[in-house]
Structure 1
Amino acid sequence: KASAHAIFRKVAAEGRRMLTEPEAKAAIEAYGIPVPRTIVAGSVAEVAQAAGELLESSEAVVVKLLSKVVSHKSDVGGVVLDIATAEKAAEAARSIETRLRARSPQVKADGYTVQAMVARKHAQELILGMNLDPMFGPVILFGAGGTAVEIVNDTAIALPPLDDVLAGDAIDATRIGRLLAGYRDRKPANRGAIIAALNGLSQMIVDFPCLVSLDINPLLADAEGVVALDARIEIDPRRVDEPAPNPALAIRPYPSGWSRDLQSDGMTFHIRPIMPADVALYPAFLAKISPDDLRLRFLSLRKNFPDQMLKRLTQLDYERDIAFVALEKDTGALAGIGRLSCDPDHRSGEYALLVRSDLQGHGLGWDLLKQVIDYAKAECIGRIEGTILNENRKMLTMCLEFGFSIAHHPSEPGLSVATLEVR
Structure 2
Amino acid sequence: MSVTNLEYLFKPTSVAVIGATNDPQNAGNIVMRNVMAGGFMGPVMPVSATAEAIAGVLTYPSVKHLPKAPDLAVVCSPLDEVPEIIHSLKERGTRGVVLMGAGFASMSEEERQDVKSTILSVARPPEIRIIGPKSLGFMVPSLNLNASLAHAAVGPGKVAFISQSDSLFATVLDWAIDKGVGFSHMIALGSRIDVTFADILDYLGSDPLTRSIMLYVESIKNAREFMSAARAASRNKPVLVIRPGQALDTVLADLKLKETGDQRLEDEVYDVAFRRAGMLRVEDIDGLFDAAQTLGTPKAVFGRKLAILTNGTSAGILAADRLLAGGGKLAPLSEETVKSIDAVLGEENWSRANPVDIPFNADGKAYSEVLKLLVKDRGSNGILVMHVPWTAQPDTEIAEGLRDSLKRVKRMVLTAWLGSGAAEKSRDVFRAADIPTYETPTQAVQAFLYMAEYLRNQEMLIETPDSLPSDFFPDTARAREVVNKALSDGRKTLTEPEAKDILAAYGIPVVETRIAVSAKEAVIAADKLGYPVALKLRSPQIPQPFDVGGVLLDLETPERVWEGAASILARCTRERPDAYIEGFTVQKMGRRPGAHELSVSASVDSVFGPVIHFGHGGMAREMIQDQALTLPPLSMSLAKELVNRTRISTLLKGSRSHLPTDIDDICLTLIQISQLIVDVPQIRSIDINPLYADSEGVLALGGKIGIAPFSGHGETRLAIRPYPRELEECVVLRSGRQVTLRPIRPEDEETHRVFLASLSDEDLRLRFFGVVPRDFGHKDIARFTQIDYDREMAFIATAPDERGEPETLGVMRTNTRPDNTEAEFAIVVRSDMKGEGLGSMLFHKGIRYTRERGTKVLTGQTMVENKAMQGLSRKFGFVITPAPHDDDLVDMTLDMEKAEN
TM-score for both structures, normalised by structure 2: 0.43
Q: Does 2:791 correspond to 1:317?
A: no
Give the direction of change, closer, same or farther, for the CA distance of 1:166–1:414 in structure 2 (3 Å limit). Answer: farther
Residues 27-38 of structure 1: pairs in structure 2 closer than 5 A: 27-38=502-513
Q: Deviations over 1:164-209 (max 9, x none)?
A: 5654554465565566566556555455544443343223312333
Q: Does 2:771 correspond to 1:296?
A: no
Query: Is the contact between residue 20 and residue 66 of structure 1 (CA under 8 Å) also seen in structure 2?
Result: no
Query: Is the contact between residue 733 and residue 836 of structure 2 (CA under 8 Å) also seen in structure 1?
Result: no
Please identify runs of 4+ aligned residues in structure 1 that moved more than 6 A. Answer: none
**Contiguous gaps of at least 5 residues in structure 1:** none
Code of the aligned partner of 1:352? A
Query: Is the contact between residue 540 and residue 580 of structure 2 (CA under 8 Å) also seen in structure 1?
Result: no
Query: Is the contact between residue 131 and residue 140 of structure 1 (CA under 8 Å) also seen in structure 2?
Result: yes
Q: Does 2:715 correspond to 1:258?
A: no
Q: Does 2:882 correspond to 1:408?
A: yes
Query: Is the contact between residue 727 and residue 743 of structure 2 (CA under 8 Å) also seen in structure 1?
Result: no
Query: Is the contact between residue 728 and residue 740 of structure 2 (CA under 8 Å) also seen in structure 1?
Result: no
- Which residue of structure 1 aligns with residue 840 of structure 2? 366
CA–CA distance in structure 1, aligned partners of residues 794 and 641 of structure 2: 22
Query: Is the contact between residue 757 and residue 774 of structure 2 (CA under 8 Å) also seen in structure 1?
Result: no
Code of the aligned partner of 1:337? V
Give the direction of change, closer, same or farther, for the CA distance of 1:350–1:177 in structure 2 (3 Å limit). Answer: farther
CA–CA distance in structure 2, aligned partners of residues 214 and 104 of structure 1: 26
Q: Does 2:546 correspond to 1:74?
A: yes
1:20 Cα offset (Å): 3.0
Code of the aligned partner of 1:118? G
Residues 146-161 of structure 1: pairs in structure 2 closer than 5 A: 146-150=618-622, 152-161=624-633
1:355 Cα offset (Å): 2.3
Deviates more, 1:339-348 or 1:80-89: 80-89
Partner of 1:247, secondary structure, is helix
Give the direction of change, closer, same or farther, for the CA distance of 1:286–1:152 in structure 2 (3 Å limit). Answer: farther
- Which residue of structure 1 aligns with residue 776 of structure 2? 305
- Which residue of structure 1 aligns with residue 417 of structure 2? none
1:154 Cα offset (Å): 4.6
CA–CA distance in structure 2, aligned partners of residues 74 and 295 of structure 1: 69
Identity of aligned residues (%): 40
Give the direction of change, closer, same or farther, for the CA distance of 1:111–1:337 in structure 2 (3 Å limit). Answer: same
- Which residue of structure 1 aligns with residue 756 of structure 2? 286
Q: Does 2:861 correspond to 1:387?
A: yes
Q: Deviations over 1:91-140 (max 9, x none)?
A: 33233323333443211221111111112124333322111112211122
CA–CA distance in structure 2, aligned partners of residues 258 and 40 of structure 1: 40
- Which residue of structure 2 aligns with residue 326 of structure 1? 797
Give the direction of change, closer, same or farther, for the CA distance of 1:5–1:288 in structure 2 (3 Å limit). Answer: closer
Q: Does 2:335 correspond to 1:335?
A: no
CA–CA distance in structure 2, aligned partners of residues 195 and 101 of structure 1: 42
Give the direction of change, closer, same or farther, for the CA distance of 1:228–1:306 in structure 2 (3 Å limit). Answer: same
Partner of 2:673, secondary structure, is helix
CA–CA distance in structure 2, aligned partners of residues 376 and 411 of structure 1: 27
Relative to total residues, which structure has the larger strand share, 1 or 2?
1
Query: Is the contact between residue 496 and residue 513 of structure 2 (CA under 8 Å) also seen in structure 1?
Result: no
Query: Is the contact between residue 164 and residue 277 of structure 1 (CA under 8 Å) also seen in structure 2?
Result: no
1:35 Cα offset (Å): 1.4
Code of the aligned partner of 1:51? A
Give the direction of change, closer, same or farther, for the CA distance of 1:310–1:71 in structure 2 (3 Å limit). Answer: farther
1:338 Cα offset (Å): 0.9
1:2 Cα offset (Å): 4.3
Query: Is the contact between residue 479 and residue 680 of structure 2 (CA under 8 Å) also seen in structure 1?
Result: no
Residues 133-148 of structure 1: pairs in structure 2 closer than 5 A: 133-148=605-620
Query: Is the contact between residue 602 and residue 613 of structure 2 (CA under 8 Å) also seen in structure 1?
Result: yes
Query: Is the contact between residue 194 and residue 225 of structure 1 (CA under 8 Å) also seen in structure 2?
Result: yes
Q: Deviations over 1:206-233 (max 9, x none)?
A: 2333322211122223343322111122
Aligned pairs, number = 417
Aligned match for 1:97, one of 544, 551, 569: 569
1:326 Cα offset (Å): 0.8
Q: Does 2:591 correspond to 1:114?
A: no
**Contiguous gaps of at least 5 residues in structure 2:** 1-475
1:24 Cα offset (Å): 2.0
CA–CA distance in structure 2, aligned partners of residues 106 and 267 of structure 1: 68
TM-score for both structures, normalised by structure 1: 0.86
Aligned match for 1:271, one of 741, 748, 751: 741
Relative to total residues, which structure has the larger helix share, 1 or 2?
2
CA–CA distance in structure 1, aligned partners of residues 493 and 671 of structure 2: 23
RCO comparison, higher one (Cα < 8 Å, 6+):
1
CA–CA distance in structure 1, aligned partners of residues 498 and 559 of structure 2: 27
Q: Deviations over 1:255-300 (max 9, x none)?
A: 4243112213454422222223222322322221234433432345
Deviates more, 1:223-232 or 1:93-102: 93-102
Give the direction of change, closer, same or farther, for the CA distance of 1:13–1:77 in structure 2 (3 Å limit). Answer: farther
Code of the aligned partner of 1:204? L
Q: Does 2:514 correspond to 1:39?
A: yes
Give the direction of change, closer, same or farther, for the CA distance of 1:258–1:379 in structure 2 (3 Å limit). Answer: farther
RMSD after superposition: 3.0
Aligned match for 2:498, one of 23, 27, 33: 23
CA–CA distance in structure 2, aligned partners of residues 121 and 100 of structure 1: 30
Code of the aligned partner of 2:522? V
CA–CA distance in structure 1, aligned partners of residues 829 and 653 of structure 2: 38
Partner of 2:483, secondary structure, is helix
CA–CA distance in structure 2, aligned partners of residues 70 and 246 of structure 1: 34
1:63 Cα offset (Å): 0.9
